[in-house]
Structure 1
Amino acid sequence: MKKFDHERKRRFRSLTLNLSSQRARTAIITMGLATAVFSIIVCVVAVQLITGGQSKGLAGRILHSISVHSLNGVMSQELPMYASIGPTPTLAESNASPRGLSNMLLYLFTDIDAGNPLTMLGFQVPGMAVSDFKLLTPDPTYTVPPSDDHADKNAPPPNLEAKPREKVEDVIPANNNEPLVYIYHSHNRESFLPDLPQIQNADRAYDAKKNIEQAGSAMLEELKKNGVPTLQTLEDYWTQGSFDDAYDYSRVTVQKVLKEHKDLKLIFDIHRDSLPRDKTTFNIDGVDYAMVYFIVGGGNNPHSDQNQATATKLQEYMNKMYPGLTRGVWKKGPASYDTRYNQDLNRNMVLIEIGGPGNSLEEEKRTAALLGKAAAQYLKDIKALSPEVQVPVEKPLTKQQQDSQQRQEQKQQGSN
């Protein structure tokens, strides 16, 4: 009996925790705090996922990181063709791989990788997000890349409560002539503050009637005067959905037009920039004009080089006929989002920005008319127009000629 009791005492042992020690209390408190923090994070993520949080929330950042980095990486490794056709990330995005727990948390909450300063520049400094533009026609006077039409990304989209407008008929070439030029407007309600006295904010310069379409119509009229059959579509993409998806909506229209008209030589998506007036205005002989900016789509655009050649040639015509009126040609570099601007649909397509919200509609139309003359001369030179078509060129005075003329007038007034 004693032997049996002895075996039971050796088989079952007890463990006593001394919770009064400092080490034990510290361990318990640390574990409790860690559990609480983890629970809070899980709750925040769950709430945002349930309520459909945007990408700027914590849940959105996690999902964005998973979808952009992890999923693309796995698919690129397993599908060789995907790596060749998928969008090429920018340098800041491709190197954004934070190391260490603290750096990971910093990147999760702020999009900043302490080991990669480009993430700070590219995501936090205004304007650096479009730093992958490439200037094709360098000019020390104009080095500002084209800005987004809806600059304030934290504000609600400008077409959030837009109302449909009355149907506007497309402008068809007279006598059923096959058009050589096609004009359309992805951001068709882009407007101008001088013509909208009730609006002060440039991010809200949009209107159903007074907008960039009228500049396109002025260009069309000038092309018609010069014997160029031109088609303009006036589709209102403003109420079709998100402002950021406008190029997807206009793409359907462009595909339809390209299918119906096979002989188009030039295709223009005409916009206005969102820079201030002093960056988008040029004075010729005492008259203000809205400046022209040629934009070339990049990314997965197979026609990128040809689009670039067409834009550069048109810019050369403008510089020759109206010196100083253009801001150059910009080509969008690789990015993790779509930068084609539908130019992958045709090699002769160019996006043109005329002026900005600080210009008036009259200034826009003046420039659009000159742009129409330059395009007509270009078409004549490439033999797209019949030789008998005459293209009158009204060459305004250059700045040097204006100064010389003013000095001569002052001398004449002094002699009198």
Structure 2
Amino acid sequence: MKEKKNTSILFIRVHWIYLSLFFLIFSISFFINFLDLKERLNSSIITATSEKVHTNFFLRLMSTEIGPLKSSIKEEEEPSISQVVFHTFINIWPEDIRTFLGREIPGFSTFNTEIAIAGLGTDLTTLPIESAPPLEMLLKEKEQAEKDQDQPKGTEEKGASPIPKTGKDVAYIYHSHSWEAFLPLLPGKKTANEAVSLNESKNIIAVGKKLKEELMKRGIGANHSTSNVTEELKKKNWNYNYSYALSRETVKEVMAQNSSINYLIDIHRDSQPKKLTTTMINGKPFARLFFIVGKENINYERNLALAKELNKKLEEKYPGISRGVFIKTKDDGNGVYNQDLSSQSMLLEFGGVENNNTELDHSIEAFAEIFSEYYWDAEEVSGNEG
């Protein structure tokens, strides 16, 4: 009788522990989100933990209040409370070797990138590579770059543009890393880390300019930033890590001045070699592109859906043009990429360091074609077609 009583007491204590833990987590989540803090409980660590914790753990928590749930609990091995707490705070999972090495080996955290949709040849060995900009090199190059520039620095391209069918700008094209350039346009440069330039005709700004032109031809109004991010960072005494904070200021300012802008397109280029970033489609060379979606913001699901839909349409018409859709958290990138500012945001990477203008132009035209079809279809469905 005494043994039975002790068992009952132990049973009651365990259930009270489950219940207390549940309310503790709920209370912390409620207050953090209620206070509208910038950092909410959407950490990739918490998400990863909840995904790996056995279902029975949550069922047991809820069954303390909802009796019928006990019948749903399968008698299988499940982690203890101590294991769950350990995994959450240490972020190490014995079955995944990457969790042991991710913070110890430089660059290994790249493998935390989630592949939402894998393009042809895409796997953990061909993930995108982002190279840090050698700011000193860029600043030394400034004088020569300004002499070579085809357009005045930091201004919009001049000349008559077609009047968009939209009657207003609905897309904003910008570059958080405006220094990213292409080796074929930089004589004497041979390595990925050297593929940087302040010259707007040789860096990623040229891709944005071309995309704006192609969208305008298809009746879609677009605003394009040619801001020299390197110089702006220098003015604020900010380093490379603040590049998204800088572009965020610009995006918010433009959106405040132009409420019709819904689509945000941050354009980059990858650092992978040509064999991974180039493909032939119908006898024409294309610089392959891909989408990056930040997971650490409230618009994650909708932005992911947008990227998947555009990726699907691109692959249907231009098989092999996309390397896929990638999801990044703060463990392996910025995690937000200003995508919290609009539920129609995308970070789009065109080609890599070894792609040339012909390959890039073909891909820009293809994307503009697919995006315009998507845009006008969406407008027709919503009844807003101009």
Q: Which residue pairs with 1:169 in the alignment?
A: 155
Secondary structure in structure 2 of the residue aligned to 1:142: coil
Measure the CA separation in 2 of the matches of 1:302 and 1:184: 21
Letter in 2 for 1:196: L
Residues 179, 264 of structure 1: 8 Å contact kept: yes
Partner of 1:17: none
Instruction: Check the 8 A contact 1:202/1:357 in 2, yes or no.
Output: yes
Query: TM-score, normalized by length of structure 2?
Result: 0.67
Secondary structure at 1:149's aligned position in 2?
Answer: coil
Indicate conservation of the 8 Å contact 1:159/1:243, yes or no: no
Residue of structure 1 in register with 2:178 after alignment:
188
- Greater shift after overlay, 188-197 or 123-132? 123-132
1:16-67 CA distance string (max 9 Å, x none): xxxxxxxxxxxxxxxxxxxxxxxxxxxxxxxxxxxxxxxxxxxxxxxxxxxx
Aligned equivalents of 1:344 and 1:195: distance in 2?
A: 34
- Answering whether residue 141 of structure 2 is matched by residue 141 of structure 1, we say no
Amino acid at match of 2:186: L
Residue segments in structure 1 that go unaligned for 5+ positions in a row: 1-75, 98-113, 390-416
| Aligned 1:3-402 pairs, distance under 5 A | 81=32, 84-85=40-41, 87-89=43-45, 94-95=89-90, 118=98, 120-125=100-105, 127-139=107-119, 141-143=121-123, 144-150=126-132, 159=138, 161=140, 163=142, 165=146, 166-170=152-156, 177-209=167-199, 210-239=202-231, 240=233, 241-299=238-296, 301-333=297-329, 335=331, 338-383=334-379
Shift of 1:364: 1.5
SS in 1 for 2:142: coil
How has the CA–CA distance of structure 1 residues 373 and 142 changed in structure 2, closer, same or farther, with 3 Å as cutoff? same
* Matched-pair contact (CA < 8 Å) for 2:294–2:334: no
Query: Counterparts of 2:324 and 2:183 in 1: how far apart (Å)?
Result: 24
The CA deviation at 1:230 is 1.2
Residues 380, 387 of structure 1: 8 Å contact kept:
no
The CA distance in 2 between the partners of 1:245 and 1:334, in whole Å, is 14
- Considering only aligned residues, what root-mean-square deviation do their CA atoms show, in Å? 3.6
Secondary structure in 2 aligned to 1:131?
helix
Give me the identity figure in percent. 28
Kept after mapping to 2: 8 A contact 1:158/1:243: no
| Worse-matched range after superposition: 175-184 or 356-365 | 175-184
Amino acid at match of 1:200: K
Residues 330-383 of structure 1: per-residue CA shift (max 9 Å, x gap): 111353874101111111010000000011133212211211111111111112
Is the alpha carbon distance of 1:251 and 1:85 closer, same or farther for their aligned partners in structure 2, counting shifts above 3 Å? same
Q: Alpha-carbon deviations, 1:64-89, whole Å to 9, x = none?
A: xxxxxxxxxxxx98x95278447554
- Counterparts of 2:299 and 2:243 in 1: how far apart (Å)? 21
Partner AA of 2:155 in structure 1: E
Distance change >3 Å, CA 211–CA 283, structure 1 → 2: same
Contact 1:135 1:331 in 2 (8 A): yes
Q: Do the aligned partners of residues 337 and 311 (structure 1) sit closer, same or farther apart at CA in structure 2, a change above 3 Å counting?
A: closer
Distance 1:288 1:253 in 2: 34
Q: Does the C-alpha gap of structure 1 residues 314 and 122 become closer, same or farther in structure 2, counting only changes over 3 Å?
A: same
CA contact (8 A) 1:184 1:268 kept: yes
What amino acid is the match of 2:153?
Answer: K
1:366 corresponds to which letter in structure 2? H
Offset, 1:326:
0.6
Aligned residues: 295
For the residues of structure 2 that align with 1:148 and 1:163, how far apart are their CA atoms?
22
Q: Larger C-alpha radius of gyration, 1 or 2?
A: 1
- More deviation, 216-225/348-357: 216-225
State whether residues 294 and 353 of structure 1, in contact with CA within 8 Å, keep that contact through their aligned partners in structure 2.
yes
SS at 1:180's partner residue?
A: strand
The whole-number CA distance in structure 2 between the counterparts of 1:278 and 1:336 is: 24
Deviations 1:96-140 (A, max 9, x none): 79xxxxxxxxxxxxxxxx9x9545521355653122222122346
Residue 329 of structure 1 deviates from its aligned partner by 0.8
Residue 77 of structure 2 corresponds to which residue in structure 1? none
Partners of 1:156 and 1:230 lie apart in 2 by: 30
Amino acid at match of 1:163: K
Distance 2:141 2:168 in 1: 35
- In structure 2, the CA distance between the partners of 1:93 and 1:199, relative to structure 1 (3 Å rule), is farther
The verdict on how the C-alpha distance between 1:257 and 1:84 changes in structure 2, with shifts beyond 3 A counting, is closer
